[in-house]
Amino acid sequence: MIREYGIHLKGGIIAQRDADYCTLRLRMPAGVLDTTRMRGIAEIADTYGNGTVHLTTRQTIEVPDIHNLKLEEVFEALRANGTPVGAEADEIVNIIACPGTARCKYANIDSIALAQRVDKSLFGKQVPVKVRISVSACPYACTSPLFNEIGVIGRIEPLREPGLCTGCGTCAEYCKECAISIKNGVSALNDDKCIMCGVCIHSCPFELLKSKHRHYLITVGGRRGRHPQMGRELVAVETEDEAVEVIERIVNWVRRRAWSGRLLSDQLDDLQFEQFKAEVISDMEK
Ligand code: SF4
Ligand code: SF4
Ligand code: SF4
């Protein structure tokens, strides 16, 4: 007997072909999970499911084949395990992140820390349209932030400092964008080609390349699905606090101004992106 009214309408419960069963998608900010909780999920899948789990593209774990009559029990077991049921309806769904500065040598920002902060602030909030958020710590963009409603990319703008450049070409070798050339025996940066990955900065044996501007590029309105679209650049901010604030502002805008039944990217097209930008961040721009 299901006692909690409307439990099937909660995000994170996915109906299966056999209507008596469903799949539970778990809340897993940045896809990080300790082994104790992982064992707990395994036990729950053994006890209530079919003994398997499914890893999703949004860095969560799904537990399939849960009988509807067991939902409340499983909800409680997952909550006690510290891995509650996640979100999948018109909500802020699982926030994903690449490993970032904790592990990746290319990282320019702490993507996991940012994703976990945003999760604490926004996860599960109901909004008129589903909002997916993805954080990548460098322009390699391993978590495809440009194909999410809100994306974050950590970037570093390099600056060639005056000094004794030998023209060795090491930095040019490292730059995969061919944005550095050796002219008249010294290195020269081409801003038009530079994607601000920051790789060259660590390559110069004489430390002539510095970080001019480390920042969080925030994009809006991307999507995957049947008609994929890349998000548009909204703003670049310098601190994690500012990045959290911009993301919260976008979500607040969605709650107040968006309507259901139409993808956010289409709504931004309707509204004109510049107007959206003005409404969300005009008072933050310097
Ligand atoms: S996006 Fe960049 S920092 Fe993140 S995992 Fe990929 S290469 Fe590393
Ligand atoms: S930041 Fe990246 S793209 Fe830009 S010059 Fe350096 S290596 Fe090339
Ligand atoms: S690696 Fe350093 S010294 Fe060599 S060309 Fe580049 S800036 Fe000059």
Of all atoms in ligand 3, which is nearest to the CA of residue 182? 5
Q: Where are the domains of the chain?
A: 7-80, 96-156+214-281, 158-212
Confidence of residue 203 (pLDDT cuts 50, 70, 90): very high
Residue 256 host element (H or E): helix 240-257
Q: Which tokens belong to 143?
A: 């978590």
DSSP class of residue 27 equals P
Beta strand residue intervals within 59-123, DSSP E: 61-67, 96-97
CA-CA distance, 132 to 73, in Å (whole number)? 28
CA-CA distance, 188 to 159, in Å (whole number)? 10
pLDDT (tens digit per residue) in 208-246: 999 888 999 999 999 998 999 999 999 999 999 999 999
Q: Which of 178, 194, 208 to mutate to test the pocket of ligand 2 (most atoms within 8 A of CB)?
A: 194
- pLDDT for residue 8: 64
Question: Does the domain spanning 158-212 belong to CATH 1.10.10.10?
Answer: no
Say which CATH class 96-156+214-281 falls into.
alpha beta
Whether 96-156+214-281 and 158-212 share one fold: the answer is no
pLDDT (tens digit per residue) in 20-79: 999 999 999 999 999 999 999 999 999 999 999 999 999 999 999 999 999 999 999 999
Question: How far apart are the CA of 71 and the centre of ligand 2, in A?
Answer: 51
Label residue 186 exposed, middle or buried (CB < 10 Å: 0-12, 13-18, 19+).
middle
Ligand 3 contact, 199 CB (< 6 A):
no
With a cut of 70, say whether residue 5 has pLDDT above it. no
Q: Phi, psi (5° rounding) for residue 153?
A: -130, 125
Question: How far apart are the CA of 109 and the centre of ligand 1, in A?
Answer: 10
pLDDT (tens digit per residue) in 134-189: 999 999 999 999 999 999 999 999 998 887 899 999 999 999 999 999 999 999 99
CA-CA distance, 264 to 152, in Å (whole number)? 17
CA-CA distance, 225 to 91, in Å (whole number)? 17
Ligand 2 neighbours by CB, cut-off 6 Å: 158, 174-175, 177, 179-180, 189, 194-200
Range 7-80: architecture per CATH: 2-Layer Sandwich (3.30)
- pLDDT for residue 3: 44
